[in-house]
Amino acid sequence: MEKLVIEGMRRLEGDIKVQGSKNSSLPILAATVVTGKSCILHNCPVLCDTSAAIRILNYLGCKAVRAGHTVITDSGDLKRYDIPDFLMREMRSSIVFLGAILSRFKKAEMSSPGGCEIGLRPIDLHLSSLQALGVRTTESDGRIYCDAPDGLHGAKITLSFPSVGATENIILAAVAAKGTTTVINAAREPEISDLADFLNGCGADIKGAGGGTVVIEGKQDFFDYEHTIIPDRIIASTLLVSAAVTGGDITLNSVNTEHLMPVLPYFEKSGCVLFTNKDTLRIKAPRRLLSPGLIRTMPYPGFPTDSQAGIMAMATCAGGTSVIIENIFESRYKHVPELIRMGAKITVQNTVAVVEGVSALHSAVTQATDLRGGAALVTAALAAEGKTSVRNIRHIDRGCERLEDMLTQLGGKVKREKDTQKQSGED
């Protein structure tokens, strides 16, 4: 096991390139299964989750190799339509392979993804949408079995919730189906648009991605394609929080400022000054932050749930009281007890967290409980007096490409160390 040890009270400054988006890389890696052609993907972050997706591709019979931040795939020789339990367990979001495998094989089999630290993560919207496209689905012994003996056909699908994963699975299943598919109340996240841009580049016909209604015309012929994955807007917001809590002055390079529109007003409200142009963003933080006020997490273009833990870390050391309402996941406050160990003043009632800013946080031994909560503990530690440890950093490594290197490059003192202490609950 490993931990990060963070020396606090160091002002961050300088500039840094933002990594490619984890949540765009995963559906696009799955999408390479659909085309049967070869693809070159640039700006693909080196993460546990993207490595897991590459392992799945190779298991299915695709050739997928990584060269730095470029992944080269060729799905011409796809041999398998099942994902074994040991690969599904590595990454629950492998469910996004379902639609892609169905497009190629008209059948698919994988373990039910199950829940995770932030919630139950049901897939009812995925399955009901695939059924509308002509797929028969059954679940037994923790496995999902899908087949479409007559092939997949277009349909009109209304999502009761703009689920990101369900929208991605519909697009991946409809892109080679017979006829037209219309998705009403589709997710509007930038990662949906990036997936559509990739597939359209391969020869698909997807219109309206990024809006609430997406129309997919099924196609049969696809081409080789080269694509650059969009920057990671959540990592960008994590770096903005890191600058904000240290009174820092940093510039993010190769960032899409449009994708950050839902979060930027809260940094300005906290007294930060922002200088934006197309793909760079500079943040100059005040010595003492003001409260970011009331934050409600919502589907895009609302405030992203993945940035909730980060903005909470910022609120813990801002003047005044902030209120956070988590509307997307039912247990996404596991970072709260860990922040309280560092001296934060937070009370939680159901989905509402009230954060009373303190003058300074102090060092503590903390545990990452999930990816975004863990990253938030590291950012809070940057503002704490003394040395803070964040344990269980395998959660953080799922989505942050060496967070310690990013923060060190900006003047932070963050070290990755072996964690020899017994984990809580270990006998």
Task: Give the shortest CB-26-to-ligand EPZ separation in angstroms.
Answer: 5
Minimum gap (Å) between residue 306 Cβ and ligand EPZ: 5
Using CB atoms, what's the residue nearest to ligand EPZ?
A: 165
Beta carbon nearer to ligand EPZ, 222 or 300: 300
CB-nearer residue toward ligand EPZ: 125 or 311: 125
The residues that touch ligand EPZ, with contacts defined as CB under 6 A, are: 22-23, 26, 93, 119, 121-126, 161, 163-166, 187, 305-306, 328-329, 371-372, 399
Sequence-ordered list of residues with C-beta below 8 angstroms from that of 334, at least 6 positions apart, any chain: 117, 118, 369, 370, 373
Nearer to ligand EPZ, 75 or 305 (CB): 305
The three-state DSSP-derived secondary structure of the chain is CEEEEEECCCCCEEEEECCECHHHHHHHHHHHHHHCCEEEEECCCCCHHHHHHHHHHHHHCCEEEEECCEEEEECCCCCCCEECHHHHCCCHHHHHHHHHHHHHHCEEEEECCCCECCECCCCHHHHHHHHHCCCEEEEECCEEEEECCCCCECCEEECCCCCHHHHHHHHHHHCCCECEEEEECCCCCHHHHHHHHHHHHCCCEEECECECEEEEECCCCCCCEEEECCECHHHHHHHHHHHHHCCCEEEEECCCHHHHCCCHHHHHHCCCEEEEECCEEEEECCCCCECCCEEEECCCCCECHHHHHHHHHHHHCCECEEEEECCCCCCCCCCHHHHHHCCCEEEEECCEEEEECCCCEECCEEECCCHHHHHHHHHHHHCEECEEEEECCHHHHCCCCCHHHHHHHCCCEEEEEECCCCCCCCC
Minimum gap (Å) between residue 123 Cβ and ligand EPZ: 5
Cβ at position 423, least distance to ligand EPZ in Å: 22
- Least distance to ligand EPZ, CB of residue 125, Å: 3
Kindly tell me which of 305 and 392 has the beta carbon lying closer to ligand EPZ.
Answer: 305
Residue among 116, 202, 272, 317 flagged as catalytic: 116
116 a catalytic residue: yes
Query: Among residues 6 and 125, whose Cβ is nearest to ligand EPZ?
Result: 125
Tell the smallest beta-carbon distance from residue 90 to ligand EPZ (Å): 13
Residue 130 or residue 318: which is nearer to ligand EPZ going by CB? 130
Which residues are designated catalytic? 116
